[in-house]
Amino acid sequence: MATSSWRTLLLRIGDKSAEYGGATDHKEHIVSALYLASLLNRFILDKTYLRVVQNAFACTSDCSSFASLLLILVLALGNFAKPLVLGFWDHGFGIKRWFLDGNLACDMDSISSILKRSKFMFLLQCVEQLPHKIPLYGVLVGLINLESEEFVKRVVDAAYSNLQDALYKENCNKIRIFMRFLTGLMSCKVISPNSIIETFETLLSSAATTIDEEAGNPSWQPRADFYVNCILSSLPWGGTELVEQVPDELERVMVGIQSYIRIRRRSQDISFKVFEADEGKSSSEKDFIEDLWDRIQGLSNNGWKIQSVPRPQLSFEAQLVAGKSHVLSPISCPAQPTALPSRSKISRGQENHEAELKYSQRLHRLHIFPSNKAENMQPIDRFVVEEYLLDVLLFFNGCRKECAFYMVGLPVAFRYEYLMAETIFSQLLLLPQPPFKPIYYTLVIIDLCKALPGAFPAVVAGAVRALFDRIGDLDMECRTRLILWFSHHLSNFQHIWPWQEWAYVKDLPKWAPQRVFVQEVLEREIRLSYFDKIKQSIEEAAGLEELLPPKGGSNFKYQADDNQEGTEGHKLSKDLNNMVRGRKNAQEISSWLEENIIPEHGSKFALEVVAQTLLDIGSKSFTHLITVLERYGQIIGKLCPDHDTQVLLMDVVGSYWKNNTQMTAIAIDRMMGYRLISNLAIVKWVFSPSNMEQFHISDRPWEILKNALNKTYNRITDLRKDIQLIEKGVPAAEEATAKAIKEYEDAEAKLEIVGGQPVPAEKPVRLKRLKGYIEKAKDEELSIRESIEAKGALLDRALEENKALFISLYKSFVNVLTERLPPVSPEGELPDLRAGNVSSMTIDLEESATMDVDNENGTKDDSQANGEGVKQYNIGEREQWCLTTLGYLKAFSRQYASEIWPHVEVLDSDVFAGDIYPLIRRAVYSGCHTECSPEN
């Protein structure tokens, strides 16, 4: 039998599934697992028993396969009912047949050694990847502790080693999981409570030292917060036992945490707010540490009773108390980077940004549903279920079906579909980046809709409606992600949606965010399908047809059936087309242009004819476009030597593909890839007057700008990876050179006596060969160093280009925003762009969904985006343009903060100096996650 099927059984521990007869009794699972563990211990400790089993079944297999099978059987941990376990030798899933067909030809010592080494390692792997089953694994380890203290000590030591290693490698997920596991083992009498308290106090002491202005480095507060968060988040799995066994010590830890919270600086998270309208509330809200502290306080006041954490140890309490409690070795925390007393505010801000990237907040809670719809659960239960869901999303990324399976089968006794949707959407919209690619969350939502067809699709639809109601407040990056997700989601469900609910948006101003959202979703759907299909899907809301993009393909200026067919442009385009189809090379066509067109009509006219014609030749498919650019791109390059002519080229591309936003973006992106267009030219083109007028009504210019920034960033990232990869080969090359030299020197030093005189013992041919090895090794080492030097030069050049790009980008933002932002009042009061200054437009509709926005402490946001039962939009076009442009300025600053921070000083002196508009400065520096200019 293949071991993969047994691994499937292992993953189903504690689950209701066909693999173990549908049994859900945790106690029965643990008893079954304990039986298998005892059996394995017999194999490990008693080689005679192993031989008896081998002979009884005529086992014929190699030792590693035999040991692996036994290991998997043991670690199945109760996946099937006890009767099946007791009879597995005779009837259990073909085990006997597997043995009979094998070939056991190894000694018992080898099998025993493999089992000893692998048993606890496999168990820890299960703990790490299925952390929501930690209580079950903890009880099993506790029961095994009654029979094999040595094995359990190895488990405890391995868990400790994993935790210690994770602390120094800054592996946040591993730290959190093993802190929870060790706490769970303590609740099962495997680890002494004092050891856990000592671990808590070590983390707490490190956190307190970090935020100390004199002895620590407050820029690394994110790490200190993470350590305290690990302590608090472990308590639901062991708080009851700690308060029973070491109440004074636990109280000391709690007092220490309370003191830490009082002296730490509250995290504002100003750049990570999903809803921009909530930024002003940050100063009065509790942050994630304060929120979790309140939840733990509530748990403590409730006698540490919690519904969401199973307590299977209660069924075995009489047995577990007889086990030996092992003592953990003291852990040590890495020292924070030394804070130099002369550091500038810029260096402190950059260091804090680095700390936030390494110890980022796992969840920015998002309350989508009103309290009368979402599940009614205690705050601590909500936290625990969120942890379960985030763990499943983390460890099953890439396994969408397994992820959906475990998400719907968590070990809780209440329903949580609404919370599950909120958690997934909070990850999809997490700023600055979601943990995984957005497509992963799209696929998980699709599979959850299929797994829970009677419940989850309606929950997702409710979430979409609630987010749509507040789309005007949504961060621009989050809005783009929501558009991409929703269009992809609909494409997997036959594009079915009750569009009539949103039909009113056609009567809203063209700049209204809800109208733009529907428009962009429909455009993205067409990319994933085709025009007629999407038009048919909105038949019940026929008025929305005006939001569809124009049907049709290209807009070729020199079409053969045009009334102006006899113009010079038509003739030259036809000649160029014939030359391309006649397989003329780029040099021949360039000569033709320089001799016949440019002298008479000028470069601008030549560029338009060439670009229009080549785009038309490559319009059949993406492959055709790539082929044309590869063969004749140098012609375009000669006609576009500077930024101004490259802007003209993009105007031609935009004109040719004016009915197809996707192809416009693809063509410009490919031209940038072939170095026909520079990123600086793209910035200049995006901020041209014609494109600026679309900033608030279309995503077209923003998509092109984002592609350019991404491509520039990816070049730098790829170069850094290449250099790191090449540098890894330097030690090996140096070692090879030294080895070759040593071999040559040793051979050369060998002497023999001939005629009473010492002469070289090695033959000249071999010495020559060894010398050749030296030269070859030195050449290889030199080649590696030259590659590093060449890549380094490219990286330096790319970084300089990147610096110029961001300076140009920010100057463009400052120029256009300064022209359009309303003036600041004489008293210095900033205008409220969301106040509105035009007559409101109202359309009677059915009752709309409202939305609670997370304030971390569970408070509600009472704002109504568009009224109760009435839809309206009362923000003027100028104000909406400013809001949208400021939103993208903040989004770009946040997304590329790591590349911007090295240039903040230059930007602050060259771009943001003087009387810069306060809203511009706020958008930039809040995007970089600092409250103000580093110099202020």
668-693 pLDDT per residue, tens: 999 999 999 999 999 999 999 999 99
Residue 137's pLDDT band (boundaries 50, 70, 90)?
Answer: confident
Q: Which two tokens stand for residue 708?
A: 């350019």
Q: What are the respective helix, strand and coil percentages of the chain, to the nearest 5?
A: 65, 0, 30
pLDDT of residue 56: 40
pLDDT of residue 562: 52
pLDDT of residue 144: 82
* Domain boundary, last residue among 642, 677, 712: 677
Residue 809 lies inside a defined structural domain of this protein:
yes
Could you tell me which residue, 824 or 850, shows the higher pLDDT?
A: 824
Quote the CA–CA distance of 935 and 348 in Å, as a whole number: 11
Domain count, the chain: 4
Whether the per-residue pLDDT at 38 is higher than 80: the answer is: no
Position 474, amino acid: L
**Adjacent-strand bridge partners of 104:** 61
Q: Which two tokens stand for residue 519?
A: 């428009």
Going from the C-alpha of 322 to that of each of 240, 246, 358, 379, 698, the distances in angstroms are: 19, 18, 42, 35, 69
Residue 56 lies inside a defined structural domain of this protein:
no
pLDDT of residue 759: 66
On whether both 528 and 571 belong to a single domain, the answer is no
Residue 752 three-state SS: strand
On whether both 166 and 194 belong to a single domain, the answer is yes
Lowest mean pLDDT among 94-103, 280-289, 481-490: 94-103
* Domain boundary, last residue among 618, 642, 677: 677
Find the mean pLDDT for residues 5-20. Answer: 48
574-609 pLDDT per residue, tens: 999 999 888 889 899 999 998 888 888 888 999 999
**What is the per-residue DSSP string for 303-357?**
TT--SSS--GGGGGHHHHTTSPPB-PPPP-PPPPPPPPTT--HHHHHHHHHHHHH
Phi, psi (rounded to 5 degrees) for 508:
-80, 160
Find the mean pLDDT for residues 369-381. Answer: 86
Above pLDDT 90, what percent of the chain? 51
On whether both 295 and 435 belong to a single domain, the answer is no
Quote the CA–CA distance of 652 and 655 in Å, as a whole number: 5
Lowest mean pLDDT among 100-104, 263-267, 371-375, 916-920: 100-104
SS (H, E, C) 841-880: EEEECCCCCCCCCCCCCCCCCCCCCCCCCEEEECCCHHHH
Return all residues near 619 (Cβ < 8 A) that are at least 6 apart.
553, 554, 556, 625, 663
**Adjacent-strand bridge partners of 757:** 754
On whether both 142 and 152 belong to a single domain, the answer is yes
Lowest mean pLDDT among 107-121, 295-309, 348-362, 792-806: 107-121
Residue 156 lies inside a defined structural domain of this protein:
yes
Q: Which two tokens stand for residue 705?
A: 């700008």
On whether both 267 and 189 belong to a single domain, the answer is yes
Position 275, amino acid: F
Position 23, amino acid: A
Q: How many CB atoms lie within 10 A of CB 752?
A: 10
Q: Which two tokens stand for residue 448?
A: 């959850």
| DSSP type of residue 825 | P
Residue 472 lies inside a defined structural domain of this protein:
yes
Find the mean pLDDT for residues 734-743. Answer: 89
CB neighbour class for 8 (10 Å; exposed up to 12, middle 13-18, buried from 19): middle
Domain holding 277, by residue range, is: 120-332+346-359
pLDDT of residue 41: 54
pLDDT of residue 55: 45
Position 476, amino acid: M
On whether both 176 and 322 belong to a single domain, the answer is yes
Whether the per-residue pLDDT at 90 is higher than 50: the answer is: no
| DSSP type of residue 149 | H
Whether the per-residue pLDDT at 83 is higher than 80: the answer is: no
Quote the CA–CA distance of 641 and 634 in Å, as a whole number: 11
| DSSP type of residue 695 | T
On whether both 568 and 711 belong to a single domain, the answer is no
Quote the CA–CA distance of 135 and 125 in Å, as a whole number: 15
Whether the per-residue pLDDT at 401 is higher than 80: the answer is: yes
Residue 867's pLDDT band (boundaries 50, 70, 90)?
Answer: very low
Could you tell me which residue, 367 or 517, shows the higher pLDDT?
A: 517
List the Cα angle 800/805/809 in 5-degree steps.
150
Going from the C-alpha of 674 to that of each of 583, 640, 644, 665, 678, the distances in angstroms are: 21, 13, 18, 14, 10
Q: How many CB atoms lie within 10 A of CB 250?
A: 22
User: Whole-angstrom distance between the N-terminal and C-terminal Cα of the chain?
Assistant: 69
On whether both 517 and 575 belong to a single domain, the answer is no
Helix (H) or strand (E) holding 751: strand 751-754
Residue 832: closest CA among 270, 274, 269, 277: 277
Residue 4 lies inside a defined structural domain of this protein:
no
Residue 55 lies inside a defined structural domain of this protein:
no
String of b and e for 90-104 (b: at least 16 CB within 10 Å)? eeebebbebbeebeb
CB-CB contact of 47 with 112 (8 Å): yes
Lowest mean pLDDT among 17-26, 68-77, 681-690: 68-77
Peptide bond before residue 330 is cis, with ω within 30 degrees of 0: no
On whether both 564 and 581 belong to a single domain, the answer is yes
CATH code assigned at 130:
1.25.40.180
Quote the CA–CA distance of 122 and 559 in Å, as a whole number: 68
CA count, 13 A, side-chain hemisphere, 103: 0
**Adjacent-strand bridge partners of 56:** none
Q: Which two tokens stand for residue 854?
A: 């997370």
Quote the CA–CA distance of 864 and 473 in Å, as a whole number: 11
Owner of token pair 């830490």: 260
Quote the CA–CA distance of 56 and 59 in Å, as a whole number: 8
Lowest mean pLDDT among 26-35, 218-227, 700-709, 819-828: 26-35
**What is the per-residue DSSP string for 87-108?**
THHHHSTTHHHHHHTS-B-S-H
Residue 29 lies inside a defined structural domain of this protein:
no
pLDDT of residue 385: 95
* Domain boundary, last residue among 495, 524, 547: 547
Return all residues near 122 (Cβ < 8 A) that are at least 6 apart.
71, 72, 75
Whether the per-residue pLDDT at 845 is higher than 80: the answer is: no
Quote the CA–CA distance of 802 and 22 in Å, as a whole number: 58
| DSSP type of residue 613 | H
Whether the per-residue pLDDT at 87 is higher than 60: the answer is: no
Whether the per-residue pLDDT at 343 is higher than 80: the answer is: no
On whether both 557 and 541 belong to a single domain, the answer is no
Residue 295 lies inside a defined structural domain of this protein:
yes
Quote the CA–CA distance of 883 and 473 in Å, as a whole number: 10
On whether both 246 and 232 belong to a single domain, the answer is yes
On whether both 499 and 397 belong to a single domain, the answer is yes
